[in-house]
Amino acid sequence: MDGEFRRQQILKEIQQSGTPVSGKKLAGKYSVSRQVIVQDIAILRAAGNDIVSTCRGYVCQKSSYARRTIQVRHTDDEIMEELNVIVDFGGTVEDVYIHHKVYGTLRAALGIHTRKQVQDFVEKIRSGQSSPLKNVTSGRHFHTISAETEEVLDAIEEELRKRHFLEE
């Protein structure tokens, strides 16, 4: 099982559980060591998930925000358009990440939620300071996006789909 997929499954399980989920239970379910689960939880926390360790297991702090992972693909010239769709609908682009066949998952925190932040980000890319992470995987990449409601996230996905950015 791919590490990123496992982490997303772990996150869903913790979020949907009404009680703490033990690391031992997660390790058994996903056939990995307890230490791998500890590392997965650290990665999930670094991605902005509010996971708390208790003596009985892991719990997610309830957030007033909805969060979702989307897979997208576009050209360098379309970066601004893609990001503006997300922020214009009221979303935040929490991060960008790719799955590399050798290096595994490579992730960068973004925290973009305004057009000004989109503009600043795109200017840094265009200035040659760096190239977009998506270029390592022929344009395919993922974003964790958040918004006040699931309906806002649905609207963002629909608009990205209309513009042919969303990978199904």
Question: Mind listing the pLDDT tens digit for each residue in 71-125?
Answer: 999 999 999 999 999 999 999 998 999 998 898 899 888 889 999 999 999 999 9
What mean pLDDT value characterizes the chain? Answer: 91
pLDDT at 63 over 70: no
**Could you identify the residue written with the tokens 């769709």?**
85
Is 82 assigned to a binding site? yes
Structure tokens at 168: 């199904």
pTM above 0.75, yes or no: no
What is the edge-to-edge ordering of all strands in the sheet holding 140-147?
66-73, 140-147, 92-100, 104-112
Return the pLDDT at 48.
Answer: 81
Q: Are 21 and 14 in contact (CB under 8 A)?
A: yes
Q: Where are the alpha helices (DSSP H) in the chain?
A: 3-16, 23-30, 34-46, 79-88, 115-126, 150-162
**Residues spanned by CATH 3.30.1340.20 within the chain?**
66-162
66-162: CATH superfamily? 3H domain (3.30.1340.20)
- Say if residue 65's pLDDT is above 80: no
Over range 160-164, report the average pLDDT.
Answer: 97
Please report the pLDDT score of residue 163 as a whole number. 97
Residue 99 is labelled as binding a ligand: no
pLDDT band at 42 (very low <50, low <70, confident <90, very high): very high
Mean pLDDT for the stretch of residues 14-22 = 86
Q: Give the residue range(s) of CATH 1.10.10.10 domains in the chain.
A: 3-60
Kindly report the backbone phi and psi dihedral angles of residue 68, in degrees, each rounded to the nearest multiple of 5, phi listed first.
-155, 150
* Fold annotation for 3-60: Arc Repressor Mutant, subunit A (1.10.10)
Question: Is 74 labelled as part of a ligand binding site?
Answer: yes
In one-letter notation, the amino acid at residue 112 is: I
Calculate ∠ Cα 154-142-151, nearest 5°.
10
Angle between helices 3-16 and 34-46 (to 10 degrees): 80
Are the C-beta atoms of residues 125 and 131 closer than 8 Å to each other? Answer: yes
The pLDDT of residue 91 is 95
What does the pLDDT look like over 19-38, one tens digit per residue? 899 999 999 999 999 999 99
Residue 141 is assigned to a ligand binding site: yes
- Report strand pairing: 51-54 vs 66-73: unpaired
Task: Label residue 153 by pLDDT band (50, 70, 90).
Answer: very high
